[in-house]
A and B are shown apart, each in its own frame.
Chain A
Amino acid sequence: MTAAVTTKPTAPAARRSERARLLVQPILVLFLVVGVLGWAFSRDLTATQKGSLNAANIATLTWQHVLITVVVVVIVVIVAVPLGILLTRPGFTKLAPVFIGIANIGQAAPAIGLLVLLFLATGTTGFWIGVLPIAFYSLLPVLRNTILGLQEVNPAVIDAGRGQGMTAGLVLRKVEFPLAVPYILAGLRTSLVLAVGTATLSFLVSAGGLGILIDTGYKLRDNVTLVVGAVLAVALALLVDWCGALAEEFLGPKGLR
């Protein structure tokens, strides 16, 4: 789980190390996956173990995990970015602290608490019972960074835009938003990591995910399954973080890189 907000790295040494990480991380992921699976399958697995540790099951669980992550992030973007934009428009800025406060509580509350509560409250389990609390939990970074990114835009630039006859909407679309994108992407990366990490717990509400391997391994004192589940979860998290880093690096406006 990552900490609250990240701003974009700008110092030259930091950027160089970020670039190095872009190359190293996927290799690390590959190494972990191949390593742990190679280790697990080279052992004599009992029938129970084979029940969990087979290609089909692992693939399914991974897919579930990824799906939860992606849906969470989509929800977060759909909710937090427009909300962030709204809260920086004149007239609404006073509301910003309120929503940030709510999102703050969402982050301070333990993810597991949110999952369990929704489950208990609705009496149901399943995909959405996993996704919604995680989405609420992961809102803050994107919301906060959207607001921050828009606030950071040099007022002189906006002024120039209006001065050239752009409407407020055009200024937002063509000037403010592109300039805020690096911040938003940084927040998005944090959210992604939060989401994929918390999704490890979604098995508790029967929403699937790699966490179930850890749980099974723990309950059955089966260290092999436990380790496989944990390492794969870590690898997936690193992969997702890498995707976030790619987005940060390449989706931002070219002039700002």
Chain B
Amino acid sequence: MQQLWDFVSARKQQLLTDSLLHVSAVVQSVVIATIVAVAIGILVYRSPAGSAIATALAGTILTIPSFALLGLLIPILGLGVAPTVTALVLYALLPIIRNTILGLASVDPAVTDAARGVGMSRTTVLSRIELPLAWPSILTGMRVSTQMLMGILAIAAYAKGPGLGNLIFSGLSRVGSPTAIPQALTGTVLIVILALVLDGVLAVVGRLTTSRGIRD
């Protein structure tokens, strides 16, 4: 325990940097994924076939082991940030697509009928009525994706990706040395803590951005 504490306090700066890199990579990937996923969701939500296909494709991506996907991206994109972010964005897609479609499809038809009936154009109905009403669902998808990505990013350190995964792999390679366990442990624990913190932040963001009229 003392060893762990020493380890952490000695490397505060480094840990902070790694944490920031980790979180920022995840956040950026989720944001990109959200933009793509919501766009896809908007395109397909009115067609059951389209929705099923989009969901199935994104679901299949999730079946791919992250290490394998990373491996496949390395020959194409090289090492470092590129394959990492690509893999993260791909994985983040399904929960958000699924929830976007779910959220948009569950808007009460009477509401969209009334919206069209009072003279809103299709784009206005989408932007002012359907998307705001689907937002809580989309945000939930983003939360799920964020949690997932925090863990997956750790693997990317294998291909020189950013983040706290590097600590874990460091610990692995230094097996036997006294810093091995503290490194791996710190890396793992920090990821868990940060994941929970991020989830909390997103939950608060959700509360703040959801209209009182639809908040549970």
Contact = CB atoms under 8 A, between A and B. Distances in A.
Decide if A and B touch, CB cutoff 8 A.
Answer: yes
Interface of A: 1-4, 11-14, 16-17, 21, 105, 107-114, 116-117, 119-121, 193, 196-201, 204, 210-211, 214, 217-218, 223, 226-227, 229-231, 233-234, 237-238, 241
Contacts of B94: 2-3
Contacts of A11: 48
Majority-rule SS of A interface residues:
helix
Given A1-B152, A234-B65, A14 B55 contact: yes
Given A14-B52, A112-B165, A217 B147 contact: no
Given A4-B147, A116-B172, A233-B71, 19 more contacts: A1-B62, A1-B151, A1-B152, A3-B145, A13-B49, A14-B55, A109-B192, A110-B150, A110-B154, A110-B155, A110-B191, A111-B154, A113-B191, A117-B188, A120-B180, A197-B65, A214-B68, A217-B71, A234-B65
Contact of A108 (B169, B171, B192): B192
B120 interface: no
B60 interface: yes
Interface in B174-214: 175, 180-181, 184-185, 187-188, 191-192, 195-196
B168 A113 contact: yes
B188 A108 contact: no
Number of chain B interface residues as a range: 35 or more
Given A108-B195, A223-B75, A226-B74, A201 B67 contact: yes
Interface of B: 48-49, 51-53, 55-56, 59-60, 62-69, 71-72, 74-75, 91, 94-95, 144-145, 147-148, 150-155, 158-159, 165, 168-169, 171-172, 175, 180-181, 184-185, 187-188, 191-192, 195-196
A229 B89 CA distance: 22
In order of increasing CB-CB distance, the 4 nearest A-B pairs are A113-B188, A13-B48, A17-B52, A110-B154
A3 B144 contact: yes
